[in-house]
């Protein structure tokens, strides 16, 4: 008997940071394949690649770069909308 994958039907997205310009993009592409294998519904258009630099996140945990902060806010808004859409089709209690 086949058991369900641990991430099956769990909404997923990718976000990452690395010190290099493309490191997180490469990692996210690899992660995408793993999540697809696990049958996790994935966001198709919302991905964030953050190049980490010293001082990007302040001592208080706030993002200090305005454009990065805006990208992260947009990401969270779109991720929430995606989760709502998925749960409309695949309710947790079904």
pTM over 0.75: yes
Q: What are phi and psi of 68, to 5 degrees?
A: -65, -45
What is the distance between the alpha carbons of residues 93 and 34, in angstroms, rounded to a whole number? Answer: 25
pLDDT (tens digit per residue) in 22-36: 888 888 888 888 888
Considering the domain boundaries, does residue 1 fall inside one?
A: no
DSSP 64: -
Q: How many domains does the chain have?
A: 1
Considering the domain boundaries, does residue 4 fall inside one?
A: no
Domain span at residue 46? Answer: 12-89
pLDDT (tens digit per residue) in 38-68: 888 888 777 888 999 999 999 999 999 999 9
Considering the domain boundaries, does residue 5 fall inside one?
A: no
Kindly tell me the sign of the dihedral angle through the C-alpha atoms of 53, 55, 60, 65.
Answer: negative
Considering the domain boundaries, does residue 6 fall inside one?
A: no
């Amino acid at each position: 008997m086949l058991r369900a994958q641990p991430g099956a039907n769990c909404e997923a997205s990718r976000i990452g940071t690395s010190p290099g310009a493309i490191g997180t993009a490469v990692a996210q592409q690899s992660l995408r394949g793993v999540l697809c294998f696990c049958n996790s519904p994935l966001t198709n258009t919302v991905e964030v690649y953050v190049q980490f630099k010293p001082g990007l996140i302040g001592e208080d945990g706030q993002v200090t770069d305005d454009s990065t902060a805006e990208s992260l806010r947009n990401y969270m808004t779109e991720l929430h909308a995606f989760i709502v859409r998925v749960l409309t089709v695949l309710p947790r209690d079904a």
